[in-house]
Amino acid sequence: MTDTEKSSLLRRGMVYGVWCAISMALPLQFIAIGLVRGNLNTTLAFAGALLIVAHIFCIPIWQHRQRQFLCNTLWARENSIEPDALKLFNWRSCKSFT
């Protein structure tokens, strides 16, 4: 990867980390604390649940954009790698925890 591609990838990673914190971690934390303390605000819980659902629905969009970006790198263009053929995860190598 070129330096420009690396910095762009770093920026994308940071933005996705902030998105994960805003749409998953904070809502789950507020809901859990509200349940433990017994003073869960239903409006905030509903807004948090909507953020979590939005995050889940945005995952395929994010993966598509990542594939597009990675296939536009200099190395990928030299090797003719297409976004449809690029696997971000290798689920077959995952072992169960049993």
- Tell me the DSSP string of 18-70: HHHIIIIIHHHHHHHHHHHHT---HHHHHHHHHHHHHHHHHHHHHHHHHHHHH
Domain boundaries, the chain: 3-87
More confident position, 88 or 98? 88
Q: Give residue 74's pLDDT.
A: 84
pLDDT at 14 over 90: yes
Give residue-wise pLDDT tens across range 63-85: 888 888 888 888 878 888 787 77
Q: Give residue 90's pLDDT.
A: 65
Give residue-wise pLDDT tens across range 29-41: 888 888 888 888 8
Of the CA atoms within 13 Å of residue 60, those in its CB half-sphere come to 3
